[in-house]
Amino acid sequence: MILDRINFPSDLKVLNTQELIALCDEIRGYFQSFPFGKEGHKNSSIGVTELSIALHKVFETPKDILIWDVGHQAYVHKLLTGRKPELEQMRKKGGISGFTSRKESEYDPFGAGHSSTSISAALGFALGQRLHGAKRKQVAIIGDGAFTGGMCYEALNYLGQEKLDVLIVLNDNESSIDENVGFLTRNGSYDSFCQSLGIEYLGEVNGHNLESLIGSLEKAKSQSQPRLIRVQTKKPLKAVATSAEENIPTSFQEVFSETMVELATGNDKIVAITPAMLSGSGLDRFKEKFPTRTFDVGIAEQNAVTLAAGLAADGFIPVVHLYSTFSQRAYDQLIHDVALQSLHVIFCLDRAGLVGEDGATHHGNFDVGFLNTIPNLNIAAPLHGNALSDILHYAISEKGTWCIRYPKSNCEFISQKSDSKPIAPKLYKKGAGKAVLSFGAIGVEVENALAQSDYAHYNFPVLKPLESNSLVEIANSFEKLITVEENSPRGGFGDTVRALLAENNITSNVRSIALPDVFVAHGSRQQLLQDCGLDAQSILDFVNRS
Amino acid sequence: MILDRINFPSDLKVLNTQELIALCDEIRGYFQSFPFGKEGHKNSSIGVTELSIALHKVFETPKDILIWDVGHQAYVHKLLTGRKPELEQMRKKGGISGFTSRKESEYDPFGAGHSSTSISAALGFALGQRLHGAKRKQVAIIGDGAFTGGMCYEALNYLGQEKLDVLIVLNDNESSIDENVGFLTRNGSYDSFCQSLGIEYLGEVNGHNLESLIGSLEKAKSQSQPRLIRVQTKKPLKAVATSAEENIPTSFQEVFSETMVELATGNDKIVAITPAMLSGSGLDRFKEKFPTRTFDVGIAEQNAVTLAAGLAADGFIPVVHLYSTFSQRAYDQLIHDVALQSLHVIFCLDRAGLVGEDGATHHGNFDVGFLNTIPNLNIAAPLHGNALSDILHYAISEKGTWCIRYPKSNCEFISQKSDSKPIAPKLYKKGAGKAVLSFGAIGVEVENALAQSDYAHYNFPVLKPLESNSLVEIANSFEKLITVEENSPRGGFGDTVRALLAENNITSNVRSIALPDVFVAHGSRQQLLQDCGLDAQSILDFVNRS
């Protein structure tokens, strides 16, 4: 095996083309039978086997700056840059990340996880180069899916003006997680697009023909203007997305999917919007039933949210599904276009809290804090599947802007049962002395924690507006309150409880359990809950100590 | 005067071209001697006099959907749509807004204030039209400055794919507030840009020739594909930007401007980045001294922040100046590209808190809440000019990511005086019984409030990390604490103080003064502070009552 001799890019330099081609086959074989990593990301990585090898053969990494957009397709790059022994621990607790990361390797000059940042980052390095005169190249490798994000255009437009030495390698694999979106990728009109922004279009090259790839990259390397080369690749398999079908039967994702179909059947004003997460959201079923009322706008969260605002201003009731972490991309639009105009838009923030193996770039732990500061919002988090369904029904029937957050996890769901007061705080367990107040689905851990104890448990499905009468009553009935929430410690449930009690002149010492104020690394969701003190045992210990 | 007979678009329909041309002159004259409104916005509005009249002549508003991007150039539109009598009260407390607003008029189907949202909003209406079959047209009017925002590209790419009936009127006035940025506007390559995205380019028209304008718009109206017409206009005067030079001599803006030049003189790693606010930020002086180290990236906050991250990863120390309200546009980039990678980038968030006449879309009241939820950040707010200068020096000398917020206001600044511990909490006034704890520049109101009282005053220049030793000591020395901050009530200083005391097992009832949890309308900054209970008298009353 040639692969056995490959540990660093320097090991590629001594191989001839035939050996490199053989190496590609070995690497494809290696990853095809590789039982680790994330399936979809592995496929993306296998699709760029030749490209990864060609880039490291042609460029002088780490001196030359290679920036992989999103970083999910960098498994081969990791293998080639000193991380082969660590691949099996990738995405596991303590192991390397599933994305590129500055902490991990000098061959990752800029980390990622979210989409469409690579050109801006490469532009930053190129501006740096112009100042300090380093002899090197800047290369951004970006898929046609990620190329739909608005950041790319902002960066290209400035790059074209500044005429800096950045090579953009467009990995045109004609697929994102779902079908790719946008006129540009569907029509392949990159030539005129580039031309209009001052980026030289270097043409297309077959991404699986290593020889032409190396030739084209050598040529591209020798130039120094802003330029884009379009590398046509195929992923080995259709990307395996986490479709709702494949989720655990009663997950929040499944309940969302079912409830949306049910709601839209009875109300033709309801429309669904997703930025490139049709299957991940469970809206694929909705699309089957209501194709004209489903809008997958591609990786373009800003457009998703303001387009929803336009639909709401026109009398529709848009439900926008966003992964919590990606909703950060549309924060201004949520404030300025939706909440400020009091439009009736419902945001379902999926993958809220700890997401597990995707790690620090993907945890949805900031949403509660950044939403709670916005006026006019209703912020809810269901404890279980029934609550999600009931709250969604409620939000559709009420006016105003709603954010409903739920984790990627299993949940209890009894489809017959429905609650006429889904937004009211609920007593889940009577008790004395100490009362635990939970917000959202983490209440399940609290239930488990307190089962054998004398403590009371109340679950609050709505953080904003917080039901102050219930809260005051509870505060007056117990010596000690402990709040539990699965999000960053500042600006969330605990802070709101303390503030409301202070406003009501109730002297208190409310203790809080929340995620720690750090970027949490990757690991299984259950492991991370434990590490963060949010599993049942840790919660019980905390309550005992408080 | 024809103008006297004009109140609604229907009044235009009966006029012939000669009368309309005469009306344009009257309106230009009217606004040129109009002593109200914001100078720069008035100029932008005068520049689109003919365009505004032509649009309302040709289209059937409010049935047809006209969406003005940003909405700052809509003074003539307001005059033509029933708001002539209210123009004099525009931007004043209780008067109409300086931007478009759904609350204000049915002729404003979608409000604005921030840039680059109009195409997404029009796209939403067009999707609605496809569903309900309304007979109408969707028109987005957007300047070439606003066209640099990434949202535009996201929206156009989807619009081109969906082939919906949206007309984009590109108001090419070759200027934003400062010189326009980007290859596209500098080279006018809109034809190939549009073509690449499936938008038909209808060519150019002189925006001051009413007859050709009406003819071109009539033709554009008769079509129904996605299409863009480029209207070339000139503003009557160079836009009057609020340059640092024109600010009150000792404003925070002036101190920032001076300090940046001073810092960069001694450290060639320091670079400055602004998204289209070179003069508004005070970085115009920096650019004069350090042209190669100043990057105005245009209205493209996302690119500004990630490009800064790239520069920091390359060893530079970027200072990114953002208006607090526009930093919302780059929230994900701040989290994912800067803070998560612990990069040494300094964000100066100007126009923090209440901004006055620009109103609800522009107040910088959310930043503290949405930043405080992010790990790895240092969040500071200077009380006065010296503190801003000292904190900036400190942030440059320390590693890590910094956010320094300050309002658009006058401040005390004695250039000789400097503080060796700029981030430490400071006792400003001794007292007993009650202590007022202020965060940031609102501390000046607290000083005025407490001058004749027995209460103590401490100012905290740093919210994150909050100095807990001082806090605990203060809490143990006073019966009552009152926090004061100029931002939304959730997730800020008050919440953090209560949380920290709870963690230290200190039972307390800390009362808080903050901005109310509503979108605050426009008015003078001082009026608004009073309305929000943050002027000296209101603060004193609150402390007395507490």
Sheet of strand A200-206, all strands in order from the earlier edge strand to the far edge: A65-68, A138-143, A166-172, A227-232, A200-206
For residue A301, indicate whether it is catalytic. yes
pLDDT at A247: 45
Judged by CB atoms closer than 8 Å, whether chains meet at B109 and A313 is answered as: yes
- Closest to B263 measured CA to CA, from B293, B305, B243: B293
pLDDT tens across the length of chain B (546 residues): 999 999 999 999 999 999 999 999 999 999 999 999 999 999 999 999 999 999 999 999 999 999 999 999 999 999 999 999 999 999 999 999 999 999 999 999 999 999 999 999 999 999 999 999 999 999 999 999 999 999 999 999 999 999 999 999 999 987 656 778 999 999 999 999 999 999 999 999 999 999 999 999 999 999 999 999 999 999 886 544 444 444 447 999 999 999 999 999 999 999 999 999 999 999 999 999 999 999 999 999 999 999 999 999 999 999 999 999 999 999 999 999 999 999 999 999 999 999 999 999 999 999 999 999 999 999 999 999 999 999 999 999 999 999 999 999 999 998 778 898 999 999 999 999 999 999 999 999 999 999 999 999 999 999 999 999 999 999 999 999 999 999 999 999 999 999 999 999 998 889 999 999 999 999 999 999 999 999 999 999 999 999
pLDDT at B243: 47
Q: Select the residue of A152, A315, A489 nearest B499 (Cβ to Cβ).
A: A489
What gap in Å lies between CA B303 and CA B298, rounded to an integer? 9
CB atoms < 10 A from the CB of A414, how many?
10
For residue B525, indicate whether it is catalytic. no
- Closest to A210 measured CA to CA, from A86, A7, A82, A51: A51
pLDDT at A415: 79
Q: Which of A57, A285, A329, A434 is catalytic?
A: A329
Contact assessment for residue A31 and residue A80, using Cβ atoms and an 8 Å cutoff? no
pLDDT at A238: 55
Q: Write phi, then psi, for B460 (nearest 5 degrees).
A: -105, 110
Rg of the Cα atoms in chain A: 25
CB atoms < 10 A from the CB of A391, how many?
26
pLDDT at B177: 65
Averaged pLDDT, A469-483: 97
For residue A258, indicate whether it is catalytic. no
pLDDT digits (tens, 9 = 90+) for A499-520: 999 999 998 889 999 999 999 9
Residue B189 near chain A (CB below 8 Å)? yes
Residue A465 near chain B (CB below 8 Å)? no
Nearest residue on chain B to A362, judged by CA atoms?
Answer: B336
pLDDT digits (tens, 9 = 90+) for A333-374: 999 999 999 999 999 999 999 999 999 999 999 999 999 999
In chain A, what residues touch B495 (CB-CB under 8 Å)? 490-491, 495-496, 498-499
Residue B154 one-letter amino acid: E
Q: Which of B83, B287, B329, B408 is catalytic?
A: B329
Sheet of strand A317-323, all strands in order from the earlier edge strand to the far edge: A294-296, A270-274, A317-323, A346-350, A401-405, A377-380, A462-464
pLDDT at A243 over 70: no
- Closest to A199 measured CA to CA, from A146, A233, A162, A172: A162
Averaged pLDDT, A276-304: 97
Strands B317-323 and B346-350: parallel
pLDDT at B168: 98
Contact assessment for residue B123 and residue A310, using Cβ atoms and an 8 Å cutoff? yes
In this predicted complex, what is the ipTM? 0.96
How high is the mean pLDDT of chain A?
95
Averaged pLDDT, A136-149: 97
Q: Select the residue of B149, B197, B512 nearest A183 (Cβ to Cβ).
A: B197
Helices (H), B3-134: 9-13, 17-32, 39-47, 49-58, 75-78, 118-132
pLDDT at A240: 46
- Closest to B508 measured CA to CA, from B462, B532, B477, B536: B477
What gap in Å lies between CA B318 and CA A127, rounded to an integer? 11
> A 41-100 residues with CB below 8 A of B?
none
pLDDT digits (tens, 9 = 90+) for A22-52: 999 999 999 999 999 999 999 999 999 999 9
pLDDT at A175: 64
pLDDT at B237: 64
What gap in Å lies between CA A469 and CA A456, rounded to an integer? 18
pLDDT at A131 over 60: yes
Could you please report the per-residue DSSP string of A11-53?
Answer: HHHT--HHHHHHHHHHHHHHHHT---S-HHHHHHHHHTHHHHH
* Three-class HEC string of A200-239: EEEEEEECCCHHHHHHHHHHHHHCCCCEEEEEECCCCCCC
pLDDT at A3: 97
Contact assessment for residue B73 and residue B236, using Cβ atoms and an 8 Å cutoff? no
pLDDT at B180: 87
- Closest to B281 measured CA to CA, from B263, B307, B261: B261
Judged by CB atoms closer than 8 Å, whether chains meet at B326 and A313 is answered as: no
Percent of chain A scored above 90 by pLDDT?
Answer: 94
Could you please report the per-residue DSSP string of A244-295?
Answer: GGGS-TTBHHHHHHHHHHHHHHH-TTEEEEESS-HHHHTHHHHHHH-GGGEE
